[in-house]
A and B are shown apart, each in its own frame.
Chain A
Amino acid sequence: MSRLVLDVLKPHIPDLIEFCRSLSEVEGVKKVSAVVMEVDAETDTVKITVEGRDIDFEALRERVRELGGAIHSVDEVVFE
């Protein structure tokens, strides 16, 4: 898996920078980019694009959960 676009709900803290930095440390991930879609009282909805080689999706999902977030949907997947 070389590219994933995720719809993620996260709390305001950790902020987007820390959130993405932490995701970029997951095995197989080379690049993480994110766009904020919506800001609510307690949460942010963000679209996160993860690129790399052999991305470990389970590890990625676990990391999102550790950071207090939840993957709501996988909107795009690329295998190479």
Chain B
Amino acid sequence: MFRLLRGSISRIMRYSGAGEFSRRYAVMNAFDGIVTILGIVLGSTLLGEASAGNIVAAGVGALIAMAISGVSGTYMAEKAEQERRIRELEEAMLMKLDNSIIAEARKRAAVFSAIVNALAALVAGLVPLSPYFAVLSGSLTPHLAFYISLGLSLGFLFALGLFLGRIARSSMIVSGLKSLAIGVATILLITLLNLFL
């Protein structure tokens, strides 16, 4: 019936505004993914003698949990939000919009946002975790993997900051440095914790 809409992500974006919040979710969850892995890597290396296997297991476990929580949480929140918008529009139009492409696009937008949300955390988290996969395959030493992982985390955070700066059309460098500062603050806090424990 809706051959107009089928398979057209760009249409979903235009009709529901999903482009904007998907972008927001993607950045927010990429941040979450990176900082979580940064915490696991730092915590387990500084506070204890965790093996690369332990770090990979803890990291992958945390990322899967984040993806599941991202999918379910975003879907429910976004579905409620989109349904409210449809109801508001129905009140303005004085008619039901059940079979319209707007309602259809808004319902699909909730699914789309949920998937983006989960994937962003998963993919972003796997980047700083990747050196430990290399350790498991025997191509890196754990010591080197630790520094590469930190570098990747900070680099990715800086890149996200640049991206946010571009969206805000403000200084990309300042925005990149702000986001880098979040990573550095995480490192300092965990290192400080290490001194007291």
Contacts and interface: CB of A to CB of B under 8 A. Distances in A.
Interface of A: 9, 11, 13-14, 22, 40-43, 65-70
The 8 closest A-B pairs by CB, nearest first: A42-B92, A68-B100, A68-B102, A43-B92, A70-B95, A68-B97, A11-B89, A13-B15
Given A22-B4, A66-B2, A14 B93 contact: no
Contacts of B166: none
A42 B93 CA distance: 8
B99 interface: yes
Given A11-B102, A13-B102, A42-B88, A66 B93 contact: no
A70 B93 contact: yes
Contacts of B40: none
Contacts of A69: 93
Contacts of B95: 70
Interface in B68-127: 88-89, 92-95, 97, 99-103
Interface of B: 2, 4, 14-15, 88-89, 92-95, 97, 99-103
A26 to B, nearest CB: 12
Contacts of A41: 92
Contacts of A14: 14-15, 101-102
A66 B14 contact: no
Contacts, number: 42
Contacts of B103: 68
B107 to A, nearest CB: 13
Contacts of B102: 11, 13-14, 67-68
28 contacts: A11-B92, A11-B93, A13-B14, A13-B15, A13-B102, A14-B101, A14-B102, A40-B92, A42-B88, A42-B89, A42-B93, A65-B99, A65-B100, A66-B2, A66-B4, A66-B99, A66-B100, A66-B101, A67-B100, A67-B101, A67-B102, A68-B89, A68-B93, A68-B97, A68-B101, A68-B102, A69-B93, A70-B93
Nearest to A15: B14
